[in-house]
């Protein structure tokens, strides 16, 4: 089942509407390319003052990328055949971050993985009471991509490391307090907000009218800041085990259920990403993509969690501690032919 992105212009506002509700608006390659093509066209169009991305009414803004299809391609045709999906997706992420115009995302519903990537690099990210946001990749034998290595290390109080390693879900209020979302607007007010933007009201003025303060609560920021300030993954695991409190114990149990390789690589990915710009982070992630497409845990995680749904993945390593430094380093090794580079040049007739 392929998806659709409706592309339209109203009142100087470029509007992208994700329309694949039965798949929770998961992004296939055609959808990614449609968004990227529209951004390229609108970037230098003086008649477009801002871009708005939303989804058709339903449960989700965007639940991620269509990774089941990607993994199947890798299994039948090889990693090189599956990698172009990520090339297109990461270029789209980069274009959002470098659009040079306001990019407004309405995160009304499930927003995970690729759904975060198609929004978080824009200037205005609007959460609602329906928002359920996560980067759940370590649970499927993958790693936080779509620029996760850029935005997660920049969240306050080590919350990004916690979210990236555990895949923990947060609501719209928590996402706003962390800065993943920039504003919190009740879902009932979104149509009026959209109408105001189409009518030409300034973005900041419109948001000042419709945004609410997010409610307190959510993550235990104090415990996360204390426990996830560790300089190494071994130190982090030891600290969780030593603490013995309910939060630490539950977090350690959660990490033990994830792919050991994914947890180890993600810790290093976010450490490196803290010192890179968005393009550098996406290029690094593209290296990792190739290694994970060629490896064991990503196909196995997709099988166990999304295909057979037995929720019994058989990971390559028995424990996180069993992953050695050489294996981690190999995942970050340069690609033959050089790293991914990003630009605004079209790549074929459909871009």
Q: What is the pLDDT of residues 20-45, one digit of tens each?
A: 999 999 999 999 999 999 999 999 99
Q: Does residue 137 carry a catalytic annotation?
A: yes
Q: Is 344 inside any structural domain? A: no
For residue 83, give the DSSP letter.
Answer: H
Q: Is 194 inside any structural domain? A: yes
The one catalytic residue in 28, 88, 145, 268 is 145
Q: Does residue 64 carry a catalytic annotation?
A: no
Q: Are the CB atoms for 127 and 133 separated by under 8 Å?
A: yes
Q: Does residue 65 carry a catalytic annotation?
A: yes
Domain total in the chain: 1
One-character DSSP codes across 11-78: TTEEEEEEE-GGGTT-B-HHHHHHHHHHHHHHHT-TT--EEEEEE-SSSEEE--B-HHHHHHHHHHH-
Quote the pLDDT of residue 338: 79
Quote the pLDDT of residue 347: 74
The one catalytic residue in 108, 137, 268, 269 is 137
Q: Is 346 inside any structural domain? A: no
Please report the sign of the dihedral spanned by the C-alpha atoms of residue 167, residue 171, residue 173, residue 179: positive
Tens of pLDDT along 263-305? Answer: 999 999 999 999 999 999 999 999 999 999 999 999 999 999 9
Instruction: Give the global pTM.
Output: 0.96
Q: Is 253 inside any structural domain? A: yes
Note down the domain range covering 320.
Answer: 4-331
Q: Is 81 inside any structural domain? A: yes
CATH number at residue 26: 3.90.226.10
Query: Tokens representing 154?
Result: 């920049």
Q: How far apart are CA 349 and CA 351, in angstroms?
A: 6
The one catalytic residue in 65, 147, 167, 172 is 65
Q: Is 198 inside any structural domain? A: yes
Query: Tokens representing 146?
Result: 């779509």
One-character DSSP codes across 210-270: H-BPPPS-SS-HHHHHHHT--SSHHHHHHHHHHH-SHHHHHHHHHHHHS-HHHHHHHHHHH
Tens of pLDDT along 238-270? Answer: 999 999 899 999 999 999 999 999 999 999 999
Quote the pLDDT of residue 348: 66
Q: Does residue 350 carry a catalytic annotation?
A: no
Burial grade of 159 (CB within 10 A; 0-12, 13-18, 19 or more): buried
For residue 303, give the DSSP letter.
Answer: I
Q: Is 326 inside any structural domain? A: yes
Q: Is the per-residue pLDDT at 115 higher than 60?
A: yes
Give the dihedral of Cα atoms 142, 146, 152, 155; nearest 10 deg.
-150
Quote the pLDDT of residue 349: 59
One-character DSSP codes across 150-183: HHGGGSGGGHHHHHHHH---EEHHHHHHHTSSSE
Q: Is 343 inside any structural domain? A: no
- pLDDT above 90 as % of the chain: 92
How many helices, marked H, and strands, marked E, lie in the chain?
Answer: 16, 10
The one catalytic residue in 109, 114, 139, 141 is 114
Tens of pLDDT along 161-194? Answer: 999 999 999 999 999 999 999 999 999 999 999 9
Q: Are the CB atoms for 180 and 153 separated by under 8 Å?
A: no
């Amino acid at each position: 089942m392929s998806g659709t992105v409706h592309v339209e212009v109203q009142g100087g506002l470029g509007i992208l509407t994700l329309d694949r509700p039965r798949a929770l608006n998961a992004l296939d390659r055609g959808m990614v390319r449609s968004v990227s093509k529209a951004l390229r066209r609108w970037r230098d169009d003086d008649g477009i003052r801002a871009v708005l991305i939303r989804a058709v009414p339903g449960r989700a803004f965007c639940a991620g990328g269509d990774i089941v299809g990607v993994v199947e391609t890798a299994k039948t045709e090889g990693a090189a055949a599956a990698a172009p999906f990520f090339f297109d997706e990461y270029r789209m992420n980069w274009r959002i971050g470098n659009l040079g115009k306001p990019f407004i995302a309405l995160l009304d519903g499930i927003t995970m993985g690729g759904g975060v990537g198609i929004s978080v690099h824009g200037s205005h990210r609007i959460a609602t009471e329906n928002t359920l946001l996560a980067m759940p990749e370590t649970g499927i034998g993958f790693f936080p991509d779509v620029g996760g290595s850029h935005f997660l290390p920049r969240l306050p109080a080590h919350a990004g490391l916690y979210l990236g390693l555990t895949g923990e879900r947060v609501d719209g209020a928590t996402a706003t307090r962390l800065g993943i979302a920039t504003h919190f607007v009740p879902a009932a007010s979104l149509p009026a907000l959209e109408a105001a933007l189409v009518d030409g009201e300034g973005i900041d003025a419109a948001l000042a009218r419709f945004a609410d303060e997010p409610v307190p609560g959510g993550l235990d920021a104090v415990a996360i800041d204390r426990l996830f300030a560790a300089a190494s993954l071994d130190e982090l695991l030891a600290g969780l085990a030593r603490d013995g409190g309910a939060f630490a114990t539950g977090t350690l149990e959660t990490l033990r259920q994830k792919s050991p390789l994914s947890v180890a690589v993600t810790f290093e990915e976010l450490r490196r990403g803290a010192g890179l710009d968005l393009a550098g982070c996406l290029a690094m992630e593209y290296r990792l993509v190739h290694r994970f497409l060629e490896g064991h845990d990503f196909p196995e995680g997709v099988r166990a969690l999304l295909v057979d749904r037995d929720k019994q993945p058989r990971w390559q390593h028995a424990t996180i501690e069993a992953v050695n430094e050489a294996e981690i380093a190999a995942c970050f090794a340069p690609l033959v032919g050089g790293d991914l580079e990003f630009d605004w040049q079209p790549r074929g007739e459909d871009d």
